[in-house]
Amino acid sequence: MAARRPDRRAAVRHPPGTPGPAQPRHPGQTGGRVIEVLHAGALTTVQDLGRPGYAHLGVPRSGALDRPALTLANRLVGNPGQTAGLEITLTGCVLRCTTAGTIAVTGAPAPVWIGDRPGDCGRPLAVPAGARVHIGPAQAGLRSYLAVAGGIAVEPVLGSRATDTLSGLGPAPLRDGDRLPVGPATAPPAPVDFTPTVSPGAELRLRIHLGPRDDWFTDTAIDRLLRTAYTVSPVSNRVGARLTGATLPRAVAGELPSEGLVLGAVQVPADGQPLVFLADHPTTGGYPVIAVLDDPTPLAQARPGTIVRFHGPQR
């Protein structure tokens, strides 16, 4: 699945909390509004709804793994749904807004502080100029999403500001000391009385459609795929959710020539353990795809150890 990573602009590092470099690592259009990254956390990336339509060039869609969560966060702050925000993985992050604005946090529920004031997920939150924004560790699920009124205005690549962790397209994952340009707000925050929080369960049921290469697997493999439980592996990432459980024996020996892959494809490598491809998946692969998910979105919030069961039509 490895792909050659293109060269990136050299980064000038500086201590957290100090003024940023004259040429920021994430340049873009801004009227002087900037978010400073004081602590980036384990993996925080800029994400929008991705760059569809380039698979024939070897470019995956990328974009937010939990697209409904990012879209909701944007709606709360008055942005169009496709506006770029931050995808914050598990451990949280600490930011500083240089000018007053509005943010919203959705997805995995996490404690939020604006300075010393606690805030709620799922609501627009006013941020004074110079205030620290602290997003704590996810209390359930895996990925929280932060939208800011005006959006993260880094330079787009192929029409998207999304970070692609496989190919290296788009802005680099955030590091302490980065400065992110913010665009101008275009609409007021949404009036909100109540936003329901959906906490992911300990078990997921995912609907699949067999094929295109289910004929490369035995009847036993199909029965195991549809009747036994799998567990999300700790080595899962934005490229794919690796699952562990009953092996899926092959009926056909040998390997396929590389062929196209799509979001939600369930590929079976040589070890017989299924791998579900997510937003940063490669666009081609040589291992057979036994099935394709209707919707891989629930895996965006599936922590390691989450139980996964597949269901769908039989052969």
Q: Which two tokens stand for residue 24?
A: 């920021």
> In angstroms, rounded to a whole number, what is the distance separating the alpha carbons of residues 271 and 229?
17
- Which of these, 69, 41, 235, lies nearest to 137 by C-alpha position? 41
Output the CA angle 212-60-270, nearest 5 degrees: 45
**Structure confidence at residue 192 (pLDDT):** 82
- Domains in the chain, ordered, with CATH? 34-181 (no CATH), 203-311 (2.40.100.10)
The model's pLDDT over 153-179, given as tens digits with 9 standing for 90+, comes to 999 999 999 999 999 999 999 999 999
End-to-end CA distance of the chain: 29
Cα torsion 227, 231, 233, 239: sign: positive
Q: Does the reported pTM lie above 0.75?
A: yes
How do the residues of the chain divide into helix, strand and coil, expressed in percent and rounded to 5? 10, 30, 60
- Name the amino acid, one letter, at 219: D
Residues contacting 194, CB < 8 A, separation 6+:
none
CB atoms within 10 A of CB 188: 11
Residue 95: pLDDT band with limits 50, 70, 90: very high
CB atoms within 10 A of CB 315: 11
The model's pLDDT over 56-71, given as tens digits with 9 standing for 90+, comes to 999 999 999 999 999 9
Burial of 314 (0-12, 13-18, 19+ CB in 10 A): exposed
